[in-house]
């Protein structure tokens, strides 16, 4: 492929689409949406779950396809991205745009109908911010990282609202945790790519304002502790157990961020970045385990109030399907009965 002229040929179309959708990133995003879904205070509903997961996957695929389209010449400049489908012209930009349009339309429909309009709106809003704000902003302004952090915070909100239909303080805490996580994550990743970013014209913190890069890393590592150990239990996102068992993970994050802050180099940044990849699934698992809404103790309390345990209908207010009689709904409230 390197030295010859080749026909523009997608060859394995599925593989090309997977790359266009940045499938690993899409999987991560969908898993944060699923995490948000699991954190919602309600019984598990398989069809809503499926709609949320599939819809989020499709919208994420669309956003990433738009990103490929907008950044093809910049991707060509950097080693990490120089073999992407649109850089090597495996198919035409129109083909990629059609893919983006089709996945966006189907993703939005599935979320709107299978979950509820709020989830759909959040999804398309996220697509708009990623493709319309974050991606172009990388060329012009250091604020792109903050826009990117918002993009990362919205999927859990989507998962949560898919069940509840409302945005409450608990889900905002969840989103903020993911927002703050983005800073140690991206700063760790980008530190080693400064040369590439500079030549390819990315106006990111690690190139244009190193001090800010270091400060935001430690600032948000500290924020994570406050969010997990104070805000999460207070907003009834999780139990107080989470406040305690999240401390080891957050302590490591803080320690690695501090090392990066004091002495930013190839090693500290890489360690921080790799840990951030491990941190995300672990913190989500811990959260789901400590989900106040799913706490079995509270479930037992509720059962004493509603003797009829034969629940045939698991629908909730907020979903577009019909709402059954309150007596039939199996809902575990956020506050404890003690």
Partner 1 sequence: MEEPKLDRRYDWVGPPDKVSKIRPIRLRRVDNETETEQNYRTTREQLNEWNSAFWTIHNQLFEQKRAEFVAKKKQELGRLGQVSAADMSVFYKQFLNERASSLRGYNNEWYRRNFALIWPAVRVNWIRFCRLLRR
Residues found near partner 1 in the complex (CB under 8 A) = 2-8, 69-70, 73, 76-77, 82, 87-89, 92-94, 97, 136, 139-140, 194-195, 197-199, 201, 203, 207-208, 210, 265-266
> Which whole-number Å values give the CA distances from 149 to 72, 92, 125, 180, 189, in the listed order?
22, 30, 14, 7, 14
User: In terms of CB distance, is 109 or 198 closer to partner 1?
Assistant: 198
User: In terms of CB distance, is 132 or 241 closer to partner 1?
Assistant: 132
**Smallest gap from residue 114 Cβ to partner 1 (A):** 30
Q: Write out the H or E segment, with its range, that includes residue 143.
A: none
For residue 324, the tally of other CB atoms under 10 A from its CB is 14
Would you give the distance in Å from CA 142 to the centre of its chain?
21
**Smallest gap from residue 70 Cβ to partner 1 (A):** 7
User: In terms of CB distance, is 89 or 274 closer to partner 1?
Assistant: 89
For residue 283, the tally of other CB atoms under 10 A from its CB is 21
**Smallest gap from residue 202 Cβ to partner 1 (A):** 8
User: In terms of CB distance, is 15 or 211 closer to partner 1?
Assistant: 211
**Smallest gap from residue 73 Cβ to partner 1 (A):** 6
For residue 80, the tally of other CB atoms under 10 A from its CB is 9
User: In terms of CB distance, is 54 or 88 closer to partner 1?
Assistant: 88
Would you give the distance in Å from CA 100 to the centre of its chain?
19
What is the rounded CA–CA span in Å between residue 206 and residue 138? 12
For residue 1, the tally of other CB atoms under 10 A from its CB is 6
Tokens of 307: 């003797």
**Smallest gap from residue 4 Cβ to partner 1 (A):** 7
């Amino acid at each position: 492929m390197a030295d010859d002229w080749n026909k523009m040929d997608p060859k394995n179309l599925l593989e090309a689409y997977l790359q266009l959708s940045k499938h690993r990133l899409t999987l991560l995003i969908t898993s944060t949406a699923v995490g948000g879904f699991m954190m919602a205070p309600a019984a598990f509903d398989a069809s809503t779950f499926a709609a949320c997961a599939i819809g989020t996957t499709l919208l994420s695929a669309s956003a990433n396809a738009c990103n490929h389209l907008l950044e093809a010449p910049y991707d060509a400049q950097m080693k990490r991205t120089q073999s992407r489908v649109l850089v090597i012209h495996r198919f035409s930009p129109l083909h990629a745009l059609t893919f983006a349009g089709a996945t966006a339309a189907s993703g939005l429909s599935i979320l709107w109908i299978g979950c509820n309009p709020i989830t759909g709106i959040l999804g398309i809003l996220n697509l708009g911010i990623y493709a319309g704000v974050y991606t172009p902003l990388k060329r012009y302004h250091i604020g792109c990282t903050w826009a990117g952090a918002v993009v990362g915070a919205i999927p859990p909100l989507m998962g949560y609202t898919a069940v509840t239909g409302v945005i409450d303080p608990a889900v905002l805490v969840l989103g903020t945790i993911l927002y703050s996580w983005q800073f140690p994550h991206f700063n760790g990743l980008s530190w080693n790519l400064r040369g590439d970013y500079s030549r390819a014209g990315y106006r990111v913190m690690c190139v244009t304002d190193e001090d800010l890069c270091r400060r935001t890393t430690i600032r948000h590592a500290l924020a994570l502790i406050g969010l997990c150990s104070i805000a999460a239990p207070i907003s009834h996102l999780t139990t107080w157990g989470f406040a305690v068992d999240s401390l080891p993970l957050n302590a490591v994050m803080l320690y690695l961020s501090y090392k990066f802050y004091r002495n930013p180099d190839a090693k500290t940044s890489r360690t921080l970045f790799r840990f951030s990849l491990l941190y995300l699934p672990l913190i989500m698992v811990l959260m789901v385990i400590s989900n106040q809404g799913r706490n079995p103790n509270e479930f037992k309390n509720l059962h004493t109030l509603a003797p009829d345990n034969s629940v045939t209908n698991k629908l909730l207010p907020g979903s577009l399907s019909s709402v059954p009689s309150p007596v039939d709904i199996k809902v575990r409230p956020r506050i404890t009965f003690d």
